[in-house]
Every structure is written in structure tokens, then in C-alpha cells.
Amino acid sequence: MIYIIGTGHTRTQMWSDAIRNGESSDTDAATVERFQLYLRDASISLDAAVIAEELSRQVVEDRPGGASVAELVAHDLQLTHLYCDPDRDERRELCIRTGTEREAIWLSRLQRLHPNSTSIIFVCGADHCDSFKAMLDQNELYARIYCGDWTLNHPQ
């Protein structure tokens, strides 16, 4: 089963030096910490084996002091972590221009994990929750929107 957690990328999905130092105009450390605790609790509650996300390693590494919240939680809980988004070179090579084309890449990467028999949390932008769930449904993969938009329920 794939449990989809929607959120606002810039507010919750990554740590950076700017966030740690209180210099980010997008979010603050307290918000990222609350999301990290939420993701940890959800992972335990859902008995997740994998935390996957709509990010690429490249995006995280582009930020000074960058760290993926999902990767940190997965490491802490000794779960598998998977970046699903194509990086800039992959997008160029594959001529990926739309959200639907990106979602198809996420789907192909998640399929390798046997999602109908594995508990997987997938963190993505809230605007992808419904369309990505529909794509998973069309491909006969069990999926549920666990949280449509964490940032709406947990404002700064």
C-alpha cells in the first residue's frame, strides 16, 4: 500500500543552513521539525518499510547544508529511502515537461518495490496527491491519501 502525504515542499521537505540559521523566507526550523516528527510517527503507525518522495538528490544537494527530511526519518527508523523525482539531466534526456510525466517516473520507481505487498509512504507536493493517486489506481496499485496537505493543517 502506498500512503500519500501531501505537503508544501519549501516549507517542510528539506533542511538547509538557511532554515537552521533562521534566514529562510519560506519556513522556519520549528515547522520542519514538526513535519519530521509527523513523518516519523506516520511511518511507525503505518509500519512503513519505505519512505519515498518527490525530490531528487540533486535538489537536496543544491542547497547549502541540504538534507531531506524523509531521508533523515528513514535513516533514523532504519527504513529504505527512495528519491523518485528525475534530476535536471534526466528531465532533459527524457524531455519531461509536465507533472504527469514526472508522476509516471515516480510510478515506475515505486513499482520496483512491490507496493501492493509493501507499506510505502510517498511524500509529494499537495497538488500531486489526487492526480498521482489516480495514476496509481489506474495501474492497479493500492494507494490511499493519508494526508492531503500537511501544511494546511499545520500553518506557521
Average pLDDT of the chain, as a whole number:
95
State pLDDT tens for residues 65-104: 999 999 999 999 999 999 999 999 999 999 999 999 999 9
The torsion angle over the Cα atoms of residues 62, 152, 72 and 19, rounded to 10 degrees, is: 50
Q: Which CATH architecture has domain 2-153?
A: 3-Layer(aba) Sandwich (3.40)
Predicted confidence at residue 93, as pLDDT, reads 95
Predicted confidence at residue 65, as pLDDT, reads 95
d(CA 117, CA 126) in angstroms, rounded, equals 25
State pLDDT tens for residues 96-126: 999 999 999 999 999 999 999 999 999 999 9
Predicted confidence at residue 156, as pLDDT, reads 57
Question: CB neighbours of 6 closer than 8 A, spacing ≥ 6?
Answer: 124, 125, 126, 127, 128, 129, 145, 147, 148, 149, 150
Look at residue 155 and give its three-state secondary structure.
Answer: coil
Is 10's pLDDT higher than 90?
Answer: no
Please indicate, yes or no, whether the overall pTM of this predicted structure exceeds 0.85. Answer: yes
d(CA 7, CA 138) in angstroms, rounded, equals 23
